[in-house]
Structure 1
Amino acid sequence: MVTSEAVTSPDADSALGDLQTHLNLIFARTRTLWKESAARIDPELQVGGYKLLTFIDRAGTTNAHELAERFEMDKSVISRQVRMLEDLRLIESRPDDRDGRLRVLTATPSARAALAGLRRDHGERLRTVMAELTPDEIHAASKAFRLLSEI
């Protein structure tokens, strides 16, 4: 069990400061990677649209209401991004069988193929960077990121 003394010790403070610095670097790198990935899919694809597209692809099907909730974005922003994704032929839209007011969104086959290629490339880069870690160290890092995601 970790005591509050251990969490507030000078060593812990230094380690947490280090962690914050590296998290900031990871976030900055992630934003750059999203921008690069969006451009690889289509030069006109914006980062926001890329994030929506990756979610739509992983979900299989979704709708604008679900996207607005998931990404905590205004429905008008979602609507514009969905329209752009449709214009770029990256998603398809059809009426929902159960509720005709809703539109079901799916990634096009070409978008799915492009995203699969990006995931392969990103996976290879991650494997290369993590090659010096043991499986136990990777599990510990994964646990730390899971805990951070629950804040």
Structure 2
Amino acid sequence: MTAADTAVPTDIDEALAEFQGHLNLIFARARSLWKEAAARIHPELQPSGYKLLTFIARAGNANAHQLADRFEMDKSVVSRQVRMLEDLDLLESRPDDNDGRQRVLTATPAACEILADLRGDHAERLREILAELTPDELHAASKVFRLLAEV
């Protein structure tokens, strides 16, 4: 048995373990929120379609290749979700001016309105949940999430 095998967890080890546990809970909650938000838009919309739609709306437009890369999804999954979003009148597509093989995807005005309502609801939830934090604490939390996003 080595010293590493019998090492007592340090404060940092315990703090990191607690942090990882809370991250797991946040990810589970995010999946639940995506599912709820997708259902609010349309009962048949899957969370993956909701994520694609929100990305396209934020970005202004995208193509299926970008979506597959960004979300590490198979192109066939992206294609099915895009087709569903188009069928639900949440997404429009047009030929790419620079590459006729690609389609430029944009969120419809109706989709943008629904997403704005959802963002407002989510922002209100966050305000309520984080009301006890000071601006400095919120900035510190934001820094942590920025660092994790850069990994």
Give the TM-score normalised by structure 1.
0.91
Shift of 1:9: 6.2
| CA deviation profile, 1:31-70 (whole Å, cap 9, x unmatched) | 1000000000111100110000000100111111111111
How far apart are the structure 2 equivalents of 1:11 and 1:62?
45
How far apart are the structure 2 equivalents of 1:101 and 1:24?
40
Q: What is residue 5 of structure 1 aligned with on the other side?
A: none
3-state DSSP of counterpart to 1:105: strand
Q: Structure 1 residue 130 and structure 2 residue 130: aligned?
A: yes
**Where in structure 2 are the equivalents of 1:70-89 lying within 5 Å?**
70-89=70-89
Length, aligned pairs only: 144
Give the TM-score normalised by structure 2.
0.91
Gaps of 5+ in 1: 1-7
Q: What is residue 140 of structure 2 aligned with on the other side?
A: 140
Q: What is residue 108 of structure 1 aligned with on the other side?
A: 108
Gaps of 5+ in 2: 1-7
Q: What is residue 60 of structure 1 aligned with on the other side?
A: 60
Shift of 1:71: 1.1
Q: After TM superposition, which residue ranges in structure 1, 4 or more long, deviate above 6 angstroms?
A: none
Q: Structure 1 residue 28 and structure 2 residue 25: aligned?
A: no
Q: What is residue 3 of structure 1 aligned with on the other side?
A: none
Shift of 1:98: 2.0
How far apart are the structure 2 equivalents of 1:16 and 1:95?
48
